[in-house]
Structure 1
Amino acid sequence: MVGLGGPVATFSVWDYVVFVVTLLAAVGIGLYQALAGRSQTSSSEFLLGGRQMTAVPVAMSLTASFMSGITVIGTPAEAYRFGAPFWLFAFSYTIMSTITAEIFVPIFYRLGITSTYEYLEMRFDRLTRLIGTSMYMFQTALYTGMAIYAPALALNQITGLNLWGVLVATGTVCIIYCTLGGLKAVIWTDVFQMVIMLAGFVAVIARGAVIQGGLQRIWNDSYYGGRLNVWDFDPDPLKRHTFWTIVIGGSLMWVSMYAINQSQVQRYISCRTMTQAKLSLYVNMVGLWVTVSLAMLSGLTMYSIYIKCDPLTNGDVGAPDQLLPYLVMDILADFPGVPGLFVAAAYSGTLSTASSSINALVAVTVEDFIKPLCPNMSEKHLTWLSMALSVFFGLLCIAMAAVSSLMGSILQAALSIFGMISGPLLGLFLLGIFFPCGNTIGGLVGLVAGLVLTLWAGIGAQIYPPLPEKTLPLSLSTAGCNSSHTEALNWTTTAPWSTGGTPTTPGYLGERPFIADTWYSLSYLYFCPLGSIVTLICGLLVSSISGGCKQRKVNPELFIRKRDLFCLNCDQNSEQLPEAESIEKCDEDMTKGKINPAFDTTDHDVQVNREKTTRL
């Protein structure tokens, strides 16, 4: 009986049909894009869609890229266990979209870059670019492995789908349409998958409302169960989710995801005009609002249904990430094909994330490693190489799925990875964009300092999970369960992304150093601001000491300009320039003496740019 615990139904034939059709549709889109663009043989067409995309499909692709299977499964579980504070991320999405659209888009778009990290070579030097690229590739491979593995594991344990069979199928589908269709296939497949994801949430909410007698009861149960206590203004930085951790820490974390992450930048610079690129981010903002709202409502629906019988404490499921799949099989099994729709929604998120990551990894490999080593390689060979790299990175992401099995709760783990690695990178870009005195030495020292500090905090939190009172889920009951399958699990005192720490584990609540209850208990949402601020401050200090203000000849196109902000005629004021043309413009301005002495750089950096111009 719904909401009273016990075993649930498994997949029916129609569920398998819906699931398989979804995968085949993704492959079909890839094949169509491959056939439609068969006359296009350039690497720009493959990696950037010929820079002819429009705002709406790009916006839906931007939303789908990080609203992955992790979101489909993890966010409702977050609402079920911790309530609705996660809803405050709507503010973070607004801040992120504005900063990215008005500061980063104008710079990246007019420079005509393909890899985000080309900017680091233009502004600093080649070593900085390679370090930034390497950090991105490590982060993306690990995150994508997690995005593939975690939903597959949760669904396997509830629906009975073969774990590794689905993992291989997921990777194979992504490899096929990424290899055949390039960025256009990825974007249009993301559009299809975004619709499927939203349909999955709507199915859960609609069926839950019918079972509970309307949305009003779901809302009342959530209110009296403490799930709607959103406005927590406690300034304690050790507390997991408060208004400040989400709005400040979450905003910077999402800026690092959208403003400098190749997976996202590659999409909006594929737009045909800068206005379209900016518009895609604002439409994406609305898409993020809708997605997080439906995910949170799904979690509150689940709480209302299981208010008297928590499946986790009752032993019906083994981990929080299995809660939503369990709910789906519990309440939708009487509707053949509908559970299959939900599984398709989770895997649509997985496919969108994996395909975006594969395409971005190919782009940075080609632009940051292959082209500098083989500057005379023909466009045809570059295109074939890009296809081969799509296959390689698809296989690598499947392999990384095994590593992600060690990360525990998927939602917080995924966001923690971004904070630890993207935070210092964001600080480096901010140093380059806003501070003409920043130089190569300062940038590298700041980047290393920020990365060491965030890794120290993040890894320390993995070894010594935060104190229970800072991460304790809200209360749940098993009083109404028909039966219990195991002893009640003491999951409420386990850290959200601990790999197994419990109150009886040595070092958890026993012998803990003082630093474990302070530094290692820092909210995971502050990892990104910490890395950014440390990188920025150290970068400025070291740049000043190493003569940053005495440098010469920096291209003013590398800095934000007042006319870039909220411009209504962006396309008339700033055209997208190819990389070689932007460097030539820099040399022309230097010759004519138009460059402000404050916009300076080292002679070494100028030589690097001139060498790039010569090669091009």
Structure 2
Amino acid sequence: MGPNNQAVGTFQVWDYVVFACLFVVSSGIGVFFAIKERKKASSREFLVGGRQMSCGPVALSLTASFMSAVTVIGAPADVYRFGASYVIFGFAYTLMVIITAELFLPVFYRSGITSTYEYLELRFCKPVRIAATLIYMAQTIVYTGVVVYAPALALNQVTQFNLWGAIFATGIVCTFYCTMGGLKAVVWSDAFQMVVMLAGFLIVLIQGSNRNGGISTAWSIAEAGGRLNVFDFDPNPLRRHTFWTVTFGGMFTWLGIYGVNQSTIQRCISCKTENHARWALYLNLLGLLVILFCAVVSGLIMYALYANCDPWTAGYVSAPDQLMPYFVLDILGNFPGLPGLFVACAFSGTLSTVAASINALATVTYEDFVSQFWRDLSNKKAIWISKALCVVFGVACTSMAVAASHMGAVVQAALSIHGMCGGPMLGLFSLGILFPFTNSKGAAGGLLLGTALSFWVGVGAFIHPAPDSITRPLPLSTQNCSVLNVTAALTTQTPLVTSISPASDRSVLVESWYSMSYLYYSTVGFLGTMIGGLLITLLTGPTKPQEVKPWLIQPVCDLFCFCSEKYRRMFWCGVNHEEEKEQGLHGVDLGTDLGSTCKEHPDTDKSDTDKSLKKQNDEILNEAYINASFIPDTKF
């Protein structure tokens, strides 16, 4: 099967109409919320939706934001080249969501914070908060550049869709509806875009199966080509995708994206209750698994169609990331409007990711910098500054797309960026939440060490890419098609990188450290931050128990109901804690009601200037936790 020439369909008028509808509807949602919420003018309403969102739209928004065009275009191409082992990410997603929902979310939600990095000042000190905020901002702007540029380039080179027109349209539309409608516009636009993504994938799966003679035929061809060898239990950390690298390396990578990322936590804390936030995460897991399944099956169907005529090796496309657009035009080119729907599917992921990034960047900048320097801003000024920040970061993220052309394959580049920055951040928050005795010196030193290690391995791997003997791409065939360009057929088998070290010059460092699977970059940063932070804390002296507010920590023993009081006291390191999670002062559920008390003051603080309310919250919670102890003769 497969084409025997380069020709595929091209974009027609109806394709452009369908694609344009995506931008029109997304912009319309921004205008709708700008009009609907015009009487609720406050920065809190604009940035976190007044903390009145329900779990359904938030769940769809979370899925759409991180299942971007990187997944729609890059994941099927990854399956096409390396096989269906990509499906193991399902295990990583599951572990990640459980840990986020049960460990990180309760702490962030009950703290009443707006910026995730505000937690770091409450737990450690302001310099740690500022350093983490700056790292997050750099990470998000660079990642967003990849998300905008890579799919636009792939679509441009296959469909002749205007590259810079697509990039600037994405930036302008996202900036517009973020600025107009705030977080509510972002969430509901994401929900709409998630529906478009599913529709695009569904059409590709149906028509692709028909072209292959049915899903069973495609499955048989994929199996014959070695694409269904999913489970590889080789423990070698240099292997790109094995069960261990994807499950555990992927878990740490995605924990850095979900567990402590402002974009995710901001939408979770916008929910009306902690249970709504938790359900949003679990419903989001279902969405992640559905999109993952669609991407993997699309890759297998694409391989089945081109098993004997690989468009990449034959020179029909110049990069693996162009395979999916080429495949779509090949199978849908005779159906006006359907290729446009798939392009809308890809750009739905892009729009949702960019919009979430712009909103999150504006939030952390306002909360971590603007509100710290100007504490007496009126509601009107706060709103205008928040909207201006959306415009600034919209321009920054769009401009960053230019530099993204040097970052190689879409999936690996995107996850590498998240891994190098997300791992140290995950380690930093874990130090604060899991270890009550960690001090600010340990947090700062651990963050520095973890960041240095993860960038060392990540940048080194970019300069000295691992050879095919380690990455192990599966064989591709061109026996049923004419190779258009012999040179292209030879060079396209190598990932797009800036420099390749000759085999004879590859040192032990290059062969081992730099050849590590890109999914372990986050793990390296996480472990470096954790180990460095704990060692520095032990050398400089632990934090005094009375200086740690109990709702800012959640030792891992709290996740297990079988832990005795003896072990709970040990893990809490002398910090006051309640004996039972479900009971509290006068029978009140501390896990919910006191958490709500902690977050209610920021919601009702319409001027965003009365900082004394936070101090009052701390005093109320401290007293409640002390009174909630059911062991009066215990000394902490």
Letter aligned with residue 516 of structure 1:
V
Residue of structure 1 aligned with 2:598, choices 572, 577, 592: 577
What is the CA–CA distance in structure 1 between the aligned matches of 2:193 and 2:617, rounded to whole Å?
A: 42
TM-superposed CA distance for 1:435, in Å, is: 0.8
What is the CA–CA distance in structure 2 between the aligned matches of 1:589 and 1:211, rounded to whole Å?
A: 63
CA deviations 1:177-225 (Å, max 9, x no partner) are 0000000000000011111111111111110111111100111111111
Equivalent position of 1:542 in the other structure: 536
Distance 1:508 1:410, change over 3 A: farther
TM-superposed CA distance for 1:431, in Å, is: 0.5
CA deviations 1:535-570 (Å, max 9, x no partner) are 111111111110115564211110116777798875
Equivalent position of 1:600 in the other structure: none
What is the CA–CA distance in structure 2 between the aligned matches of 1:292 and 1:182, rounded to whole Å?
A: 29
For 1:95-106, list aligned pairs within 5 A.
Answer: 95-106=95-106
Equivalent position of 1:526 in the other structure: 520
Equivalent position of 2:449 in the other structure: 449
Q: Which moved more, 1:340-349 or 1:463-472?
A: 463-472
Equivalent position of 1:339 in the other structure: 339
What is the CA–CA distance in structure 2 between the aligned matches of 1:557 and 1:278, rounded to whole Å?
A: 17
What is the CA–CA distance in structure 1 between the aligned matches of 2:533 and 2:168, rounded to whole Å?
A: 43
What is the CA–CA distance in structure 1 between the aligned matches of 2:225 and 2:540, rounded to whole Å?
A: 58
Equivalent position of 1:609 in the other structure: none
Equivalent position of 2:238 in the other structure: 238
Letter aligned with residue 510 of structure 1:
S
What is the CA–CA distance in structure 2 between the aligned matches of 1:19 and 1:254, rounded to whole Å?
A: 30
Classify the secondary structure of the residue corresponding to 2:504.
coil
Classify the secondary structure of the residue corresponding to 1:324.
helix
Classify the secondary structure of the residue corresponding to 2:6.
coil
Classify the secondary structure of the residue corresponding to 1:474.
coil
* 2:408 is the alignment partner of 1:408: yes
How many residues align? The count is 591
Indicate conservation of the 8 Å contact 2:424/2:526, yes or no.
Answer: yes
Indicate conservation of the 8 Å contact 1:553/1:590, yes or no.
Answer: no
CA deviations 1:222-245 (Å, max 9, x no partner) are 111100111100000000000000
Distance 1:428 1:563, change over 3 A: closer
Equivalent position of 2:552 in the other structure: 558
Letter aligned with residue 108 of structure 2:
F
Letter aligned with residue 260 of structure 2:
I
Equivalent position of 2:123 in the other structure: 123
Letter aligned with residue 181 of structure 2:
G
Indicate conservation of the 8 Å contact 2:449/2:532, yes or no.
Answer: yes
TM-score, normalised by the number of residues in structure 2: 0.90
For 1:287-436, list aligned pairs within 5 A.
Answer: 287-436=287-436
TM-superposed CA distance for 1:583, in Å, is: 3.8
Q: Which moved more, 1:549-558 or 1:154-163?
A: 549-558
Equivalent position of 2:176 in the other structure: 176
Letter aligned with residue 531 of structure 1:
G
For 1:50-89, list aligned pairs within 5 A.
Answer: 50-89=50-89
TM-superposed CA distance for 1:283, in Å, is: 0.2
TM-superposed CA distance for 1:587, in Å, is: 4.2
| Consecutive unaligned residues in structure 2, runs of 5 or more | 562-580, 583-588, 603-610, 629-636
Indicate conservation of the 8 Å contact 1:106/1:564, yes or no.
Answer: no
TM-superposed CA distance for 1:409, in Å, is: 0.5
What is the CA–CA distance in structure 2 between the aligned matches of 1:176 and 1:423, rounded to whole Å?
A: 32
Equivalent position of 2:195 in the other structure: 195
Letter aligned with residue 37 of structure 1:
E
TM-superposed CA distance for 1:4, in Å, is: 2.7
Distance 1:295 1:101, change over 3 A: same
What is the CA–CA distance in structure 1 between the aligned matches of 2:344 and 2:617, rounded to whole Å?
A: 49
Equivalent position of 2:134 in the other structure: 134
What is the CA–CA distance in structure 2 between the aligned matches of 1:540 and 1:511, rounded to whole Å?
A: 38
Indicate conservation of the 8 Å contact 1:5/1:482, yes or no.
Answer: yes
What is the CA–CA distance in structure 2 between the aligned matches of 1:509 and 1:240, rounded to whole Å?
A: 19
Indicate conservation of the 8 Å contact 2:309/2:481, yes or no.
Answer: yes
What is the CA–CA distance in structure 2 between the aligned matches of 1:93 and 1:589, rounded to whole Å?
A: 33
For 1:252-263, list aligned pairs within 5 A.
Answer: 252-263=252-263
Distance 1:384 1:451, change over 3 A: same
Residue of structure 2 aligned with 1:511, choices 505, 511, 519: 505
TM-superposed CA distance for 1:574, in Å, is: 3.5
Letter aligned with residue 532 of structure 2:
C
How large is the Cα RMSD of the aligned pairs? Answer: 2.1
Distance 1:87 1:491, change over 3 A: farther
Letter aligned with residue 372 of structure 1:
Q
Equivalent position of 1:211 in the other structure: 211
What is the CA–CA distance in structure 1 between the aligned matches of 2:172 and 2:560, rounded to whole Å?
A: 42
TM-superposed CA distance for 1:485, in Å, is: 4.1
| Consecutive unaligned residues in structure 1, runs of 5 or more | 597-616
Q: Which moved more, 1:390-399 or 1:508-517?
A: 508-517
Equivalent position of 1:473 in the other structure: 473
TM-superposed CA distance for 1:490, in Å, is: 2.8
Distance 1:240 1:595, change over 3 A: farther
Indicate conservation of the 8 Å contact 1:109/1:576, yes or no.
Answer: no
TM-superposed CA distance for 1:40, in Å, is: 1.3
Q: Which moved more, 1:276-285 or 1:565-574?
A: 565-574
- Percent identity among equivalent residues? 49
TM-superposed CA distance for 1:21, in Å, is: 1.1
TM-superposed CA distance for 1:590, in Å, is: 6.5
Equivalent position of 1:31 in the other structure: 31
Classify the secondary structure of the residue corresponding to 2:505.
coil
Distance 1:595 1:512, change over 3 A: farther
Letter aligned with residue 117 of structure 2:
Y
Indicate conservation of the 8 Å contact 1:167/1:398, yes or no.
Answer: yes
Letter aligned with residue 426 of structure 1:
L
What is the CA–CA distance in structure 2 between the aligned matches of 1:571 and 1:4, rounded to whole Å?
A: 63
